[in-house]
Amino acid sequence: MIKKVLQSTNRVRRRTKSPEAGCSGAQRQYSEGGSGKWIPFASFCTTGQFNKLGRGYIRHCGPTAAVNVIRTLDNYVRNENENSQGSRTAVAGAGKTEKSAGMDPEKLFLMCAEIGRRTHIYWNTEILGRFGGTSNALTKVYLRDCLRAAGKAVVKTRIRFHVWITPDAVEKAVCSGAIVYLQVYRHPRYQNHHMLCYGCRRNEGKREFLLADGWSPYPVWVGDRDLGRGHYLTIRCR
C-alpha cells in the first residue's frame, strides 16, 4: 500500500506542469525532506485492533495515535541505522545486515494506555458520550512520556502545540518535515478524535492530506474540508 501511495504521488508529480502548483515540498521525494518524508515509515494501527486487549478499551484514539507516532519514528531510526551499518559493512566487505522485527503494536498500546491512566491524561471510560478519552490540553506531555518510555529505539523529538487547524498550516508543517498530530472537534465523520497527518499532495489541482486516522489500517486521503477543526501538534526529529 505504501508503494502504491508513492507511485500515486509520482504520477501527480509528472502531471504537474508548474513547480509552484503544489506546496514547496509536495512535489519532492521523501528523501529530499518534502511532504512525503514520513510516508515510507508510516504506521496505521487502529483503535479496532486494540479495543479487546485486557478488559477492553474505549475512546482510545489518543493511545492509538501515540503508538503510531512511536512506530513511525522507530521505523525511521531502524532504516537510518541499517543504511549506516550497510555502508560500513560494504566498506569492510562483511555480509548483509539483519533487520529488526520492529516494535510490537499491542505491547506499545498497553504501555501507552497505562501511562495515560497512571497520569490521568487518558481515561478509559465514556460518560454521557462526552467524558473520557485523552486530554487534549495534556497531549504534548502524554506524547513525551510515551516516547521516553519507548526507550532508545526512538529518536529525540521536539513537540510543539499549535492553535487551530487550517489546511495551509498543516500543509506548511508536513512540507517542512513534521509529523502532524491532529486533535479534531465535532468532525462530521470522526467527531472528537486524535489522528496523524503524514503528507500532502496535489491531486488534479486539489489539495489532499494523507492521514493515519486510527480507523483504517490503510492511508486515508482527505481534502481541505475534511481535515477538520481543532488544534494540532508538530513532531520533529532534533
pLDDT at residue 2, as a whole number: 40
Q: What is the mean pLDDT of each run of 10 residues along the chain (238 residues)?
A: 43 35 36 70 97 95 97 91 64 31 86 97 83 94 95 83 96 95 96 96 92 97 95 93
Q: Which long-range contacts (CB under 8 A, 24 or more apart) does 210-213 make?
A: 210/5, 210/39, 210/42, 211/182, 212/42, 212/43, 212/44, 212/45, 212/65, 212/68
pLDDT at residue 122, as a whole number: 97
pLDDT at residue 128, as a whole number: 64
Q: Which three cell numbers stand for residue 72?
A: 513511525
CATH number at residue 156: 3.90.70
Residue span of the structural domain in which 19 resides:
2-95+102-237
pLDDT at residue 84, as a whole number: 78
pLDDT at residue 11, as a whole number: 43
Total domains present in the chain: 1
3-state secondary structure of 157: strand
- Euclidean distance between CA atoms 165 and 159, whole angstroms: 16
What phi and psi values does residue 61 have, to the nearest 5 degrees? -65, -30
